[in-house]
Structure 1
Amino acid sequence: MIEMKPAAYSRPQIWLHWVMAVLILMQFVLHEQIVAAWEALEKGLAPDINLAVRSHVIGGGLVLLLVIWRLVLRVRRGAPALPAREHPALKGLAHLTHWSLYALMVILPVTGLATWFGGNETADFIHTTLKFPLIAFVVLHIAGALYQQFVLRTGLISRMTRPG
């Protein structure tokens, strides 16, 4: 049986991509507030559970729920094939980047929630440590998309801006 791949991502896939990008960016913006609250908890003090702290916790939970929805859509609908003339090494790097981002978008919220609600120090260590690979893979993802768009001129970015 020949597997048919869609020509572009669906409207829900595109929406999820951009909403999650904003949510992940916001997690970094709200980072200092959640760290201050966590440090207060560790010292036995009452943390300032302000809007930023609540937003970080809720945002992490939303990332987890949305990435599950995104993975379900990807399994059910598929994803467009990478450009045919793309070098196999670049295709491999694209797959590594995408699946690493998916894994991090599951692991980081799970460990963040385990830290916040369970006080799990191992989860805190994992959560704190994995933010650096997340940054690296996000930068690689953006750089790859821009390289495809402006150097190789494959029109790759249109797949995430126009539903198909």
Structure 2
Amino acid sequence: MASPTGYSRAQIRLHWIVAGLIVLQFVLHESISDAFDMAMEGRQIAFNPLVAQHVAGGVLIGLLVLWRLVLRLRRGAPPPPENEHPLLKLAAHATHWTFYALMLMLPVSGAVAWFGLVEPAAETHEFLKAILMLLVLLHVAAALYHQFVLKTDVLMRMKKPQA
């Protein structure tokens, strides 16, 4: 399959929707952490819409990431800039596939922790969350580096769809 020159409208929208959902999950996680601690202590948990949001958000992220993977496998992704250093190309490739893996493992580990009250799954979930946040920071820094230092079109590819 030939590599497309850019991302499709669906790929771009899914990227930004998932990014927004991940930010929400990170910012609004305190309620589910507290509820999980209460459940582990055997205490009764009252309904909390923020807990429900976290659970539903995790499920939604997992489903949207599966959709993103299907689109990527069917349509492909644009190659890195031609004159980019091979190590940067390798880093970009590894980072993108690590993102997919984390965005699938986080909902699974969270579901096992929440619905099964499995403490090691909760610890794994927290560890994966920290890795994801570091990867997000690296991803944003790399996009800005491409835009302002290397002067490539990498950032624009996630803003303007290609046919």
Name the TM-score class by shorter chain: over 0.9
Which portions of structure 1, spanning 4 or more consecutive aligned residues, are displaced by more than 3 angstroms? none
**Share of identical aligned residues, percent?**
52
**1:91-135 Cα distance to aligned partner (Å, 9 max, x none):** 111111111111000000000011111112221121111111111
Partner amino acid, structure 1, of 2:61: V
CA distance in 1, matches of 2:27, 2:50: 9
Shift of 1:44: 1.1
Q: Per-residue CA shift, 1:46-102, capped at 9, x if unaligned? A: 123311111000000001000000000000000001100111011111111111111
1:42 to 2:40 alignment: yes
Which residue of 2 is the match for residue 119 of structure 1? Answer: 117
Q: Distance in 2 between matches of 1:39 and 1:48?
A: 13
* Paired letter, 2:29: H
Structure 2: which amino acid aligns with 1:137?
L
Contact 2:39 2:117 in 1 (8 A): no
Among 127, 130, 134, the alignment partner of 1:129 is 127
- How far, CA to CA, are the matches of 2:72 and 2:31 in structure 1? 34
Query: Residue in 1 aligned with 2:50?
Result: 52
Partner-residue secondary structure (3-state), 1:38: helix
Paired AA for residue 157 in structure 1: L
The one-character-per-residue Cα deviations of 1:135-155 (angstroms, maximum 9, x if unpaired) are: 111111111111011110002
Cα distance in 1 for partners of 2:47, 2:81 equals: 47
Match for residue 73 of structure 1 among 71, 74, 93: 71
Q: Partner of 2:96 in structure 1?
A: 98
Whole-angstrom distance in 1 between the partners of 2:80 and 2:90: 10
Contact 1:108 1:130 in 2 (8 A): yes
Q: Secondary structure at the match of 1:80?
A: coil
Letter of the structure 2 residue corresponding to residue 160 of structure 1: M
> Superposition RMSD on alpha carbons, in Å?
0.9
Gaps of 5+ in 1: none
TM-score (norm 2): 0.96
TM-superposed CA distance for 1:39, in Å, is 0.8
Unaligned runs of 5+ in 2: none
